[in-house]
A and B are shown apart, each in its own frame.
Chain A
Amino acid sequence: MEVNITRENNIITVRFSGRLDTPGAQKINPQMNALAEEASKTIILDCTDLSYISSSGLRIFLTLRKAAADRGGKIIIRNICDDIRNVFMMTGFLNLFEIHSYNCNNCN
């Protein structure tokens, strides 16, 4: 699990790549917690290279979403594959997030 954060004009883009499973979530958790402090801005969670997500990853997304709601920011999810979209559907996340494009580069 790798995460790459870039900032441009008050827009923070987070690029996930690999499997956001429990160990993966544990690994990126400190960075994500720090990112929650900037939740007053617009944060794009780019999932183009994300191939898997478990509830630990979902918890990170939800934490950011709650922080954005608190601080008046915005979370945009970009490019999720069908598998992850399915997980979002099962968990009601489709209603919680603004999702741009379902294209996915990295779906097996």
Chain B
Amino acid sequence: MRARVMLVVVATITLEVTAIIQFVYAQKEIKKEASLRAESELKSAENKIMDVVDQAEAAVRNSIWVAAWCLEYPDSIARIPQRVLSENPVVVGSTMALVPGYNESLPLYAPYATRDLETGEIKMLSLATEEYDYPSQEWFVKPMELQDSYWSEPYFDENGGDILMTTFSMPVKDKNGEVAAILTADISLDWLTEYIGKIKVYPNAFNMVISRSGQIMVCPVETLVMQTTVNQFALESEDYEALDRVNQAMLAGQAGEMPVRYQGQTNHVYFSPVERTGWSLSIVLPEKELYSGVRRVGMLVAILQLLGLAMLIVILRVVTKNQAKYQRLNEQKERMENELHIAREIQMAMIPKTFPPFPERKDLDLAASIIPAKEVGGDLYDFFIRDEKLFFCIGDVSGKGIPASLVMAVTRSLFRAMSAHEDSPAKIITLMNNSMSETNESNMFVTFFCGVLDLKAGQLRYCNAGHNPPMILTDAIRMLPVEPNLPLGILNGMDFIEQETSFQYDDALFLYTDGLSEAENISQEQFGETRIERTLHGKKRSEEHLENIKQQVSLFVGEAPQSDDLTMLFVHYLGDMNKDSYHLSLHNDIGQIALLPEFVETVAEKAQLDHEAVFNLNLALEEAISNVIMYAYPEGTDGTVDIEAVVDGKHVSFVITDSGKPFDPTGKEEVNINAEVAERPIGGLGIHLVRTIMDTVSYERKDEKNILTITKNY
């Protein structure tokens, strides 16, 4: 959330800073551009004016020498202005006014040539009238004072209506160098008004021309033209100081640009002087207009940026929302997996996991193992003993995950329920199948193998429901022949075929799920049955077998991930249907040795031993117990020696137990039977005979008892 806000803030700041930089830069550029345009317009206007001014000046200057000459011939003076006018179309009026008193016969003489407004023909008038009093007019006075040419202030033509005029005057000197007359050329400024008005740098920009005295000559507000000076205008304006500065600069004949506030807006005034005339041209640009383009673009950019930001916020919201959703889903998944694992642990806890499971039983050596895959699977095994029968099963639920795990729990419960009173594996499986297929809406099935081993008789009854056949380990290792049948949960009412085989001492059954046979290495090879068979070779305890297989699988699989549960069950039968045990208890009286032959005879009969074997067994047994009878207990005290004889198909064992003082006959040194008579010791022959006759001799001191076990293999 914080990150999101930060992101928006940073994006906004970046965009805004960029926009501001862009805006400032654009403004500068635009102002530069505007200045260039204004200056170039001013320049071109000035050129245009100068062109007219030059023509007017030339018209006068070109006639000066003629005018000087005419001073000698007063009759011809009137022809001078006529000539000026006729030769120069820009000139609208011209006079040659004699300095009063220069010519005594002509005290005031100023013939004026002008064009008829209608016909355009040149007509002659006289300015030497009393009411006009030309010697007092500016165009006459100024060049007299200056002794040089002079451009008059603009003025409205008195006889020609509203035509704005200006006059170029030049002194005419006689041969003595004395000013004798003033020659003038009037030009109309109408073209100027028109021309200047046409210059439009920007739609709302306007132009002004002021005279050297500050008279407004050209201006869009017509009421101001020739009515007001810029100084008067400035006095009435809101930004007097700025305007005054502009005015002073313009009147001083400077060129430049200055900002001025007018009617609440900032304006930029570009101004430039017009040579000789003393005029000043100016262009006024309202700032608003100047930057309106930039402002429009800036506005557009700002709107786009806002839209972008809005989109960014929307996208961020969607993203964070999705993220939150994803996170929530992930947490849910994790929680579910967690719960699933707990459920699985509970199930696993129901399955017997303590090994060896029946430590008190010598006739059974059983081990099992589940290596669960990362994903929760549905393997199971189970076993228990009831009525001297071992009930065991292994199963693999189709699929993985929660459903498989649940079905596995159900399967295990059903196995326990059905096998509680039923001894036939086929019946157990049939009942389980009916129960499962009745309610199996998810169409999950379980491959299942169930066996019931009669521990006394060594009889194994079994039934397979679609599981892979177990391996039976007798003298050789081979697959247990199984009817395939259908897995559990597929077909209600299906009959399962039961099979049976008989177990001998040391036979074993190895059951597993396809997690073992189909364990894959990185090259996707499967562990396979051949490897299983190879690994099972050799007589070992069940747990050793399982450890062995785990190691081999682990070596084979290497880094490849375990994709399925790996479940194994090893049932190692150590009982024997022919096995019997016989017991003989003797007092510590040497005469009791006489009881041995009959005891050995009974044992030997069961073991179907020949005469020699009986003789040897008798001898070994006598040797083993005679010492005990004679020396284990202090003289005069009663003591007993217990003999337990165990006979199975392959061995005869005697376990001799007494409670006398500790005595380990196996610790005795071996006698040298090849020694000469003199070197032969009298003792040591007894234990030598036991060792020679029997295959294993072992001694144990346990619970204050000497336990000597001697075994003969057949």
Interface set of A (CB-CB < 8 Å, partner B): 19, 21-23, 26, 52, 54-56, 58-59, 62-63, 65-66, 69, 82-83, 86-87, 90-92, 95-96, 108
Contacts and interface: CB of A to CB of B under 8 A. Distances in A.
Interface string B447-464: 000000000000000000
A58 B678 contact: no
A69 B677 contact: yes
Contacts of A92: 673-675, 680
B656 to A, nearest CB: 15
Interface in B436-478: none
A91 B622 CA distance: 16
B590 A69 contact: no
Contacts of A23: 590-591, 593-594
Contacts of A62: 680, 682
Given A69-B677, A95-B674, A63 B682 contact: yes
Contacts of A66: 677-678, 680
A87 B689 contact: yes
A63 B685 CA distance: 13
Nearest to B678: A69
Contacts of A91: 673, 685, 688-689
Contact of B626 (A56, A65, A95, A108): A56
**8 tightest CB-CB pairs across the interface, nearest first?**
A92-B673, A55-B685, A55-B686, A22-B626, A83-B615, A90-B692, A69-B677, A54-B622
A59 B685 contact: yes
26 contacts: A21-B594, A21-B622, A22-B630, A26-B590, A52-B615, A55-B623, A55-B686, A56-B626, A58-B685, A59-B685, A62-B680, A62-B682, A65-B677, A66-B677, A66-B678, A66-B680, A82-B612, A83-B612, A86-B612, A87-B689, A90-B692, A91-B688, A92-B673, A92-B675, A95-B674, A96-B677
Contacts of A59: 682-683, 685
Contact of B622 (A22, A58, A63, A95): A22
Nearest to A26: B590
B221 to A, nearest CB: 153
B215 interface: no
B609 interface: no
Contacts of B688: 90-91
B611 interface: yes
Interface string B615-653: 110110011001000100000000000000000000000
Contacts of A96: 677, 680
Contacts, number: 67
Nearest to B684: A55
A12 to B, nearest CB: 19
Contacts of A21: 593-594, 622
Interface of B: 590-591, 593-594, 597, 611-612, 615-616, 618-619, 622-623, 626, 630, 673-675, 677-678, 680, 682-683, 685-686, 688-689, 692-693
A108 B600 CA distance: 15
A91 B673 CA distance: 6
A48 to B, nearest CB: 17
A63 B680 CA distance: 10
Contacts of A52: 615, 618-619
B677 A55 contact: no
Contacts of B615: 52, 83, 86
B593 A22 contact: yes
A52 B692 CA distance: 17
**Which of B593, B612, B618, B678 is packed against the most chain A CB atoms within 10 Å?**
B593
Given A21-B593, A82-B612, 4 more contacts: A21-B622, A90-B673, A92-B674, A96-B677
Contacts of A22: 590, 593, 622, 626, 630
A92 to B, nearest CB: 3
Contacts of B611: 83, 108
Given A21-B593, A22-B626, A55-B689, A87 B619 contact: yes
Contact of B619 (A54, A63, A95): A54
Nearest to B596: A21
A58 B673 CA distance: 13
Contacts of A58: 685
A87 B692 CA distance: 10
A49 to B, nearest CB: 16
A23 B612 CA distance: 22
B626 A54 contact: yes
Contacts of B693: 90
A63 B683 CA distance: 11
**Which of B591, B619, B689 is packed against the most chain A CB atoms within 10 Å?**
B619
A97 to B, nearest CB: 10
**Which of A26, A69, A83 is packed against the most chain B CB atoms within 10 Å?**
A83
B611 to A, nearest CB: 7
A71 B675 CA distance: 19
Nearest to B622: A54
Contacts of B616: 86
Contacts of B692: 90
B243 to A, nearest CB: 148
Contacts of A69: 677-678
A107 B611 CA distance: 10
Nearest to A66: B677
A22 B693 CA distance: 18
A91 B678 CA distance: 15
A56 B623 CA distance: 9
A23 B590 CA distance: 6
B521 to A, nearest CB: 56
A5 B674 CA distance: 30
A61 to B, nearest CB: 10
Nearest to A22: B626
A28 to B, nearest CB: 14
A13 to B, nearest CB: 22
B680 A54 contact: no
Nearest to A59: B682
Contacts of B623: 54-55
A63 to B, nearest CB: 7
Contacts of B686: 54-55
Nearest to A58: B685
B391 to A, nearest CB: 49
A59 B627 CA distance: 14
B620 to A, nearest CB: 10
Contacts of B673: 90-92
A62 B615 CA distance: 21
A83 B675 CA distance: 23
A104 B619 CA distance: 19
A91 B682 CA distance: 12
A90 to B, nearest CB: 5
A73 B626 CA distance: 32
A59 B683 CA distance: 7
Nearest to A63: B682
Nearest to A82: B612
A102 to B, nearest CB: 15
A108 to B, nearest CB: 7
B57 to A, nearest CB: 164
